[in-house]
Amino acid sequence: MKAAILIEPHKPVLVEEVDLQDPKDGEVLVDLVGAGICHSDYHYVDGHIKPRKLPLVMGHEGSGIVEKIGPGVKSIKPGDKIIFSMDAMCGFCRNCTNGIPTLCETYGRTVTMPDGTNRFSKNGDPIYQSNGVGTYTEKTVVPADTVVKVSDDTPLEKACLIGCAVITGVGTVVNRAKVEKGSSVAVFGCGGVGLNVIQGSVFASSSTIVAIDNNEFKLKKAKEMGATHTVNSAKEDPVQAITEITKGGVDYAFEVVGFPDILSQAFKSTRPGGTAVMVGVQPPDAKISIDCTDLLMDRGLIGAYHGTARPRVDFQWLLDLYKTGRLNLDGLITKYRPLEEVNEAFEDMNKGLVARSILTFK
Ligand SMILES: [Zn+2]
Ligand SMILES: [Zn+2]
């Protein structure tokens, strides 16, 4: 079977034949149906984020059908439709119990199975899995605690986006920031996740939603998703524009790009009492400095990881919103490509030609 493997940064991803072991204790083997191209994946290629280990099966956003289960797995069975959570959830640690299972203390962040071993290999050499998942592959093995069963009528080739883009965006608004109705919101960066921060802000009944990007295609998409205003940051200063539109700054500013300078802009665009929320994955050791007097004025600066998701509740909720016409999933999908075209899909994303591309495997 084939998988898209990153051998080293700054080189194209290779689609190669690899070996995959059967699932062991507590693991499942999933036959992939769809995998979304997320900017975080490309960050391993362009060096914005340093991969923990190489070579790496790329991808953390995906959906599929359970093909085999390992010993002891009771939560899921072959034939079940699933969406990957990208964070394994034990269900009993402090964070799982407190409603933030994406920060599970039992599993933590990994690029292997929880016991430190690998299921992927080539010629006997181990291959690691992005986020402990790896979805740019025809099949993958993950802990059963990583997969979320969804209803049988789920269109998996679209629903893969729920696992990262949709929940990271919507969840950040409703689970983490808990945006109140009537709030004003600014969204810096209108890629897959940013567009879903906009959708989430619509669900939260925000009054004003200002979308900021330097790409006109993305700003047009932002309007489709519910932005009330758009600012092209290549043409005007976003902080000044937001301050003018909202007469003094926003209640919530979301940074969804992953650069410290943009996070600083987000903080500066809040009104007294407002909150800046960092969603984008920043480069290693990135730091910002903020004006302490600004902070004193009841402002907040918080981080939001993976939409502070409760995947076992939120994924089906988002699917139900889609099925009843309230979540726009179709508008997020610009293109489907076969696994072999993963590098072309990255290229489309870098050129700003797509909201989201999806790799398919059939
Ligand atoms: Zn992602
Ligand atoms: Zn846990």
Asked about 39 being catalytic, the answer comes back as no
What does the pLDDT average to over 52-80?
97
- Domain boundaries, position 22: 2-163+329-360
Regarding whether 110 and 7 lie in a shared domain, the answer is yes
Asked if residue 35 belongs to a domain, the reply is: yes
Q: Are residues 231 and 291 in the same domain?
A: yes
Same domain assignment for residues 110 and 130: yes
Please check whether residues 191 and 80 belong to one and the same domain.
no
Contact of 347 with 354, CB cutoff 8 Å: no
Exactly one of 39, 43, 48, 229 is catalytic; name it.
43
pLDDT in tens, 202-245: 999 999 999 999 999 999 999 999 999 999 999 999 999 999 99
What is the band of 87 on the pLDDT scale with cuts at 50, 70, 90?
A: very high
Which pLDDT belongs to residue 44?
A: 93
pLDDT of residue 240: 98
C-alpha 342/C-alpha 357 separation (Å) is 9
Q: Using one digit for the tens of pLDDT, what is the confidence trace for 13-23? A: 999 999 999 99
Give residue 308 CA to ligand 2 midpoint distance, Å.
13
State the total domains in the chain. 2
Distance 310 CA to ligand 2 centre (A): 11
What confidence tens digit (pLDDT) does each residue in 251-260 have? 999 999 999 9
Q: Does the active-site annotation cover 160?
A: no
Q: What percent of the chain has pLDDT over 70?
A: 100
Q: Which of 125-129, 312-316, 336-340, 351-355 has the lowest mean pLDDT?
A: 351-355
What's the gap in Å between 309 CA and the centre of ligand 2?
Answer: 13
- Assess whether 265 and 351 both reside in one domain: no
> If you average pLDDT over residues 246-250, what whole number do you get?
98
- Whether 50 shows a pLDDT value over 90: the answer reads no
**Contact indicator for 85, 146 with CB cutoff of 8 Å:** yes
* Residue 108 CA to ligand 1 centre (angstroms): 17
User: What mean pLDDT is predicted for residues 251-276?
Assistant: 98
Q: Ligand 2 (ion): which residues have CB within 5 A?
A: 90, 93, 96, 104, 106
Residue 192 and residue 271 in one domain: yes
Work out the average pLDDT over 247-273. 97
Distance 84 CA to ligand 2 centre (A): 16
Cα(195) to centroid(ligand 1), Å: 13
Question: Is 292 among the catalytic positions?
Answer: no
What residues flank ion ligand 1 with Cβ within 5 A?
38, 40, 164
Query: Which two three-digit tokens encode residue 219?
Result: 């700003």
Record the pTM. 0.96
Residue 262 is inside which H or E element, if any? helix 260-268
Shared domain check, 155 and 7: yes
pLDDT value at position 362?
73
Active-site option among 39, 48, 60, 229: 60
Is residue 78 scored above 80 in pLDDT?
Answer: yes
38 catalytic per annotation: yes
Give me the torsion for CA of 218, 223, 228, 230, rounded to 10°: 30
Decide if 311 is inside a domain: no
Residues 8 and 148 in one domain: yes
The answer to whether residue 60 is catalytic is yes
Judged by DSSP in three states, 125 sits in strand
Residues with Cβ within 8 Å of residue 162, at least 6 apart in sequence:
63, 83, 315, 318, 319, 329
Q: What per-residue confidence (pLDDT) applies to 97?
A: 97
Answer yes or no: do 123 and 212 share one domain: no
- Are 220 and 339 contained in the same domain? no
pLDDT of residue 109 exceeding 90? no
CATH of the domain at 31: 3.90.180.10
Contact 95, 104 (CB under 8 A): yes
Band (pLDDT 50/70/90 cuts) for residue 49 is: confident
How high does pLDDT run on average in the chain? Answer: 96
The whole-number average pLDDT for the span 31-59 is 94
Closest ligand to residue 310's CA: 2
Q: What is the pLDDT of residues 170-214, one digit of tens each?
A: 999 999 999 999 999 999 999 999 999 999 999 999 999 999 999
